[in-house]
Chains A and B, each alone.
Chain A
């Protein structure tokens, strides 16, 4: 990041003059999105890509949205949260309860889950923001541990069904589209993600985004510039929770099931690891982070087993050994995350000029 002071001052002048800001989304990204949207037709109908792969892709996108949300808070605003699994759970439960109890259409529950999470995030953020750094991390960590217990709480049981969780039904594709439920949900999730990434890009490039970064880089200077720190921070917290809540809601619809055990604090850690490994304070890092959470972290055990058996290692490795090694190596070789690492690699090998 260039010093945010200059960004702020020049932004006051001519936004178009800012390098790297307000650029249109590159064509190859749109092509990629179109290709992704056509996948169910290309791969699904021909049987090249099974329903299970669509499930995995959907989940990857869901985690990308969640990592993006956390990234807005941690990467762009510099606040560490170990508790975003809580908002994931709130989003999932709002959707599940609305579908289960009030028989709402699943798509209609998404905005409500987002609003609910924004409110919860904002309200939690407001007092918690008096805490800085490690203290905030601890407060959010407590939240992550408390939420599953709340969901089991006796007096909420009529709504949450306690430890039993809530079963909902997977929606069928509408209009008799020739898609399987997995393929349809993949499209729904993809559409949500595209919208959310564009919105995030706009937030980051807006006045609000610059204020977020200014607070991260130079809190004192930001205050002096007339930025309302407390307000910006709580709104960022709310927006971040909203993103994660949407991810939770989509997750609930995909799995047709929510229960307190689905949202233990490991989920919060997974998101943070995804954000850091993907590349903090970059939007593309969120996609990589989502990929990492879905395909590396979840299959840590299988990966370890596979490597042990292919290389014929004579020793017994604990399930997460390879995962741990990957994490350490990545952190040493790419301290700015995979997105940051790739960007600096590109700068090195790119032809000059």
Chain B
């Protein structure tokens, strides 16, 4: 199977292990990823907070480039990129006037023919849980994983159009298929605070801390995420969380694709397992 691929800025810098694990997992599942040539930043939250037309046009350039390259579907592993690309896809398809204005500022034609998918949707709906389960070489037996969806994979519902906005289950099912013990917990779609870490770090430390401690209190060995922004807030800030609450955090946070890769028998080095502030060693020990 072939698919278009939009890595986004984070996967080329602080989330290199999200990129390497996504690539490795796709190779092992016989999925060929083709990167959109010369893609640009989706504009993320700053564009949508600043100007609606800009927030549609920046991702739409990528969709237009994908279309030119003959792609029908694009996998966007970063939850925020997915959300903003999908917004452009849906708003351009749903409103002729919006579509015309976007093409106008882009000075490009775009035929509304590209469908954007997030990593979960891609694995569950395109590859299929059964196909993945059949390829598991090293089941994640005994590993308690808290599936963390955050905001952008499932909300706003009319944009994401995937799973349930508040109580999604697709990652739960996928992790179960890998043999993991899935934690039933209350913070799976809580917001980590996202980019407010650059302006109000204390608020983000509190919000992300609630998620980490909720996972810890429910006996999770690790939290699984599909978002580089969530990863950064949840993994990098655990020292600050401990300082703020007086309680030790130390909960490893892993990309969903790293867990997939481990179960599929891909080497730790290829997955980039080392690139975490909170050590992933306890997780690896438990399954080795």
The reply to whether chain A is a binding partner of chain B is no
Q: Give the interface of A toward B (CB within 8 A).
A: none
